[in-house]
């Protein structure tokens, strides 16, 4: 019987807070179907997205240099990063921040705390995977 190759999805996590980068990296570490890269600020995130070309971007809004709204707009303007889904994971839970993130080009805005299994389901949904 022929075995099907397991597809690995590349996820870029752009987050200004080292503690959050560490927590989410550890949470995704056990997943063999994700390859995770991290960026610690907006400029690094845009550069890494262009060179690494992730399948999905998970990001915060508050970071040094470029804020998350600027990052989203930059990603959506570049031909190599215009298509991947962007999930914002931010404590900025007010309606204005959510509206600004979505109007900048994010696909979804999620406010922590988040159940990791639910988040993986949302990621898989955006990647077009069966959950």
> Does any domain span residue 1?
no
> Does any domain span residue 102?
yes
* Higher local confidence (pLDDT), 56 or 29: 56
66 and 96 Cβ atoms separated by less than 8 Å: no
Q: Determine the distance from the C-alpha atom of residue 47 to the mean position of all C-alpha atoms in its chain, rounded to a whole number.
A: 14
Residue 112 reports pLDDT greater than 80:
yes
Q: Residues 34-47: pLDDT tens digits?
A: 999 999 999 999 99
> Does any domain span residue 3?
no
pLDDT given at position 1: 42
Q: What is the CATH number of the domain that holds 28?
A: 3.40.50.2300
How big, in percent rounded to 5, are the helix, strand and coil portions of the chain? 40, 20, 40
> Does any domain span residue 23?
yes
Contacts of 127 (CB under 8 A, 6+ apart): 9, 55, 56, 85
pTM reported for the whole predicted model: 0.90
pLDDT, mean over the chain: 90
> Closest Cα to residue 14, out of 53, 71, 76?
71
* Higher local confidence (pLDDT), 18 or 76: 76
Q: State mean pLDDT over 77-87.
A: 97
pLDDT-wise least confident of 19-33, 76-90, 115-129: 19-33
Q: How many domains does the chain have?
A: 1
- How far is it, in rounded angstroms, from Cα 105 to Cα 37? 21
What domain range includes position 34? 9-126
Distances (CA, A) of 73 to 58, 62, 66, 84: 14, 15, 11, 13
């Amino acid at each position: 019987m022929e075995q099907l190759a397991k597809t690995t999805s590349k996820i870029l996590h752009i987050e200004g807070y080292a503690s959050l980068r560490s927590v989410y990296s550890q949470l995704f570490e056990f997943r063999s179907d994700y390859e995770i890269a991290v960026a610690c600020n907006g400029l690094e995130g845009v550069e890494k997205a262009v060179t690494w070309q992730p399948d999905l971007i998970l990001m915060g809004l508050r970071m040094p240099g470029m804020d998350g709204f600027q990052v989203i707009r930059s990603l959506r303007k570049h031909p190599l990063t215009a298509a991947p889904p962007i999930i914002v994971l931010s404590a900025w839970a007010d309606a204005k921040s959510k509206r600004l993130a979505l109007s900048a080009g994010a696909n979804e805005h999620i406010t922590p705390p988040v159940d990791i299994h639910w988040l993986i389901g949302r990621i898989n949904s955006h990647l077009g995977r069966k959950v």
